């Protein structure tokens, strides 16, 4: 099967959820819904005004079209004589936006809760507490919304617009995380600020990186030419001033169709202790799973354990190089083939440098310490665990993302420079302190004996002009 055909198949996976109340253009604008508008124009004027400014209002849809529910639905409540659902879930939106709901339901966004479920107790739970999970982690990754016995929503899990929110009706995701409630704006979802709400800070430093990149520079200089609210939004056709997050990860470009599966074009995993290229496994029910490209590629028709722990039959396998080709198609709308390939090559080299020089040695040393019982099983109860976490999770991620998105400052000074500084000045001394001779042996094995990356440590230096003394000392004149 050709690349184009394979990629298109990724965009039309079967929905996991049955349809709800029928909703199509023949029954938009329910008469009873006009009462909702009258009341909420008084009690929630801002909300009503947002709706009036929406595409939904333009085509004749009102509150009840989206909020209507059957009494048997988990979050159904009686409200002023109507049966409604408080949460308009992707399952609701999918009644009209079927393709978008199907693509999103198996994306990395929709699985954002599952991806950190095992890490949250050790990180935010132990170091912080349940309250910070609700207002921090869950507001980006999503909560599992609970319905109390009286039909109201549990305030420990709601309100929440996290991208991977698990809704009472069983659906995953939150369309309003990007599009906003009641206006459901295309322009808002396409603007980088929509992504920056969550993709900022140590673990996902993309806001600062984008703003510092040539792409960000072009966007902020020419934002008025970006055509963000257009019905059609194809790079090189409807706009050409700059790419946004949506352009590269979701947008249409040339023969490449748009998608609501935000991670489908990512060849590398950049938020792990050691990066690996990722093979994408697509199951017959539409679910997806990423596995390291170093693992044997599974065959079509075979079974594999999915993210939720269930077994699924494999429909298609997409290797990392095909995912890279998809991303490169976006680049080619504004850049020449040689430019795009050169950029990708530099990016790959930077990731491999991080892996070989810092990621793999640090991971191997930490694994050995746990195996020898020199570190306790509890995470974050010893200084070296914080140092190691920050090496790959904060500084290492920033370096790799900086290389991916074209910010030299974040690739080096805010990234790999901090990795190297803390690797040599904090991590290795802490290993010696924790493990003594065992630590020194491990450092020799994985660091000082590796001439290619760490040989400079044992080479005599004639002088040190960088630090301001020795040969090459700079004059103040």
Give the pLDDT of residue 308: 82
d(Cα 411, Cα 403) in Å, to the nearest integer?
Answer: 5
Instruction: Evaluate if residue 315 carries a pLDDT over 60.
Output: yes
Q: Looking at the domain assignment, is residue 28 inside a domain?
A: yes
Domain identity same for 12 and 150? yes
d(Cα 328, Cα 415) in Å, to the nearest integer?
Answer: 24
Domain identity same for 303 and 446? no
Q: Which of 150, 179, 208 is the last residue of a domain?
A: 179
Domain identity same for 16 and 125? yes
Instruction: Evaluate if residue 117 carries a pLDDT over 90.
Output: no
Instruction: Evaluate if residue 466 carries a pLDDT over 90.
Output: no
Nearby residues of 79 by Cβ (< 8 Å), 6 or more positions away: none
Domain identity same for 408 and 431? yes
Q: Which of 179, 198, 214 is the last residue of a domain?
A: 179
Q: Looking at the domain assignment, is residue 86 inside a domain?
A: yes
DSSP letter for each residue of 45-81: HHHHHHHHTSHHHHTT--HHHHHB--TTSTTEEEETT
Tell me the average pLDDT across 350-373. Answer: 98
pLDDT band with cut points at 50, 70 and 90 for residue 1: very low
Q: Looking at the domain assignment, is residue 17 inside a domain?
A: yes
Domain identity same for 164 and 115? yes
pLDDT band with cut points at 50, 70 and 90 for residue 20: low
pLDDT band with cut points at 50, 70 and 90 for residue 114: confident
Q: Tokens 């490449």 belong to which residue?
A: 256
Give the pLDDT of residue 285: 92
Q: Looking at the domain assignment, is residue 211 inside a domain?
A: no
Domain identity same for 84 and 40? yes
**Number of domains the chain is built from:** 3
Query: Mean pLDDT, the chain, as a whole number?
Result: 90
Give the pLDDT of residue 470: 57
Secondary structure (3-state) at 309:
coil
Domain identity same for 30 and 175? yes
Q: Looking at the domain assignment, is residue 468 inside a domain?
A: no
Domain identity same for 52 and 162? yes
Q: Looking at the domain assignment, is residue 82 inside a domain?
A: yes
Instruction: Evaluate if residue 16 carries a pLDDT over 80.
Output: no
Domain identity same for 142 and 91? yes
Containing structural domain, residue 370? 337-456
Q: Looking at the domain assignment, is residue 310 inside a domain?
A: yes
Domain identity same for 316 and 356? no
Nearby residues of 382 by Cβ (< 8 Å), 6 or more positions away: 375, 376, 434
pLDDT band with cut points at 50, 70 and 90 for residue 61: very high
Give the pLDDT of residue 469: 63
| % the chain with pLDDT above 70 | 91
Q: Looking at the domain assignment, is residue 361 inside a domain?
A: yes
Q: Which of 179, 195, 221 is the last residue of a domain?
A: 179
Instruction: Evaluate if residue 238 carries a pLDDT over 50.
Output: yes
Among candidates 18, 25, 174, which has minimal Cα distance to 88?
Answer: 174
Domain identity same for 354 and 291? no
Domain CATH code at residue 314: 2.30.30
Domain identity same for 305 and 162? no
């Amino acid at each position: 099967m050709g690349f184009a055909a394979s990629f298109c198949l990724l965009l039309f996976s079967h929905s996991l959820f049955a349809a709800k109340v029928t909703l199509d253009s023949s029954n938009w604008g329910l008469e009873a819904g006009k009462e909702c508008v009258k009341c909420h124009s008084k009690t929630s004027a801002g909300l009503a005004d947002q709706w009036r400014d929406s595409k939904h209002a333009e085509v004749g849809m009102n509150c009840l079209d989206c909020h209507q529910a059957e009494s048997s639905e988990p979050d159904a409540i009686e409200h002023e004589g109507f049966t409604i659902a408080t949460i308009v879930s992707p399952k609701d939106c999918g009644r009209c936006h079927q393709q978008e709901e199907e693509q999103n339901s198996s994306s990395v966004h929709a699985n954002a809760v599952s991806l950190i479920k095992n890490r949250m107790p050790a990180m935010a739970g132990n170091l912080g507490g349940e309250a910070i999970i609700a207002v921090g982690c869950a507001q980006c990754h999503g909560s599992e919304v609970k319905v109390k016995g009286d039909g109201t929503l549990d305030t420990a899990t709601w309100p929440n617009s996290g991208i991977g929110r698990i809704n009472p009706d069983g659906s995953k995701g939150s369309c309003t995380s990007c599009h906003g409630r009641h206006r459901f704006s295309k322009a808002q979802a396409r603007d980088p600020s929509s992504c920056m709400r969550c993709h900022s800070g140590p673990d996902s430093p993309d806001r600062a990186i984008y703003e510092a990149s040539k792409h960000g520079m072009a966007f902020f200089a020419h934002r008025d030419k970006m055509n963000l609210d257009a019905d059609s939004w194809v790079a090189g056709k409807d706009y050409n001033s700059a790419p946004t997050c949506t352009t590269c990860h979701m947008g249409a470009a040339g023969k490449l169709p748009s998608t609501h599966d935000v991670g489908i074009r990512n060849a590398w995993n950049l938020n792990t202790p050691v990066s690996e290229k990722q093979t994408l496994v697509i199951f017959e029910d539409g679910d997806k799973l990423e596995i390291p490209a170093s693992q044997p590629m599974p065959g079509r028709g075979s079974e594999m354990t999915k993210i939720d722990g269930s077994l699924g039959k494999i429909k298609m396998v997409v290797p990392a190089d095909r995912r890279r080709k998809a991303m490169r198609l976006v680049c080619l709308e504004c850049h020449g083939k040689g430019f795009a390939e050169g950029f990708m090559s530099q990016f790959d080299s930077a990731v491999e440098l991080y892996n070989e020089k810092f990621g793999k040695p640090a991971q191997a040393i930490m694994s050995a310490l746990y195996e020898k019982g020199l570190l306790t099983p509890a995470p974050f109860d010893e200084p070296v665990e914080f140092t190691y976490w920050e090496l790959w999770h904060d500084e290492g991620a920033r370096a790799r993302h900086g290389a991916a998105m074209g910010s030299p400052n974040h690739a080096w000074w805010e990234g790999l420079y901090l990795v190297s500084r803390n690797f040599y000045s904090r991590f290795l001394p802490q290993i010696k302190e924790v493990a003594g001779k065992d630590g020194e042996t491990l450092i020799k094995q994985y660091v000082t004996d590796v001439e290619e990356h760490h040989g400079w440590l044992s080479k005599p230096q004639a002088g040190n002009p960088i630090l301001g003394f020795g040969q090459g000392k700079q004059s103040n004149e």
